[in-house]
Amino acid sequence: MPQDVICEPQNITWQRIEAETNSEIRRVLIARYGADNYVADSGAIVVHELPVDHEYVGLRTARLLRKDVPDDEPIVYADVLNSTPEPDGSVKRYMLRVDPNAYNGEASRNLHAAVASTWRDSITGELTYKRWQDYAPVAES
């Protein structure tokens, strides 16, 4: 591992990550840079986007982002809203890592499926919802 990756992670750029040909070093670079930052900074493609008036507050203006990584599976994130406003009225966005293979790959193409796939049993890791269509929160916080 190059010394600067360990000692100076603040100097890692998304361009360096993309130029790295060794997949193991690239994985460490992504981990040190932050996968969510890498997806946002490197020009990931928007796969699916939901409207501002979506029935679930947390999914309003949400986007499903995909970044293809050479010789590895894609990195997929759901960029969603916190449905509870901050004391000053602002609303935070969150990047949720998504398993692109969940629901037979539907989580890598459909934002609703992607968000449903983030709900898992904390011990077994099994999906909470057998079908992504069953993810229908009655309250958001």
pTM given for the model: 0.81
CB contact at 8 A, 132 and 112: yes
Closest by alpha carbon to 45, among 75, 7, 10? 75
Each residue's pLDDT tens digit, 51-92? 999 998 889 999 999 999 888 889 999 999 888 889 998 888
The pLDDT, as a whole number, for residue 82 is 87
The pLDDT, as a whole number, for residue 120 is 95
Asked whether the predicted pLDDT for residue 16 surpasses 90, the reply is: yes
The pLDDT, as a whole number, for residue 115 is 95
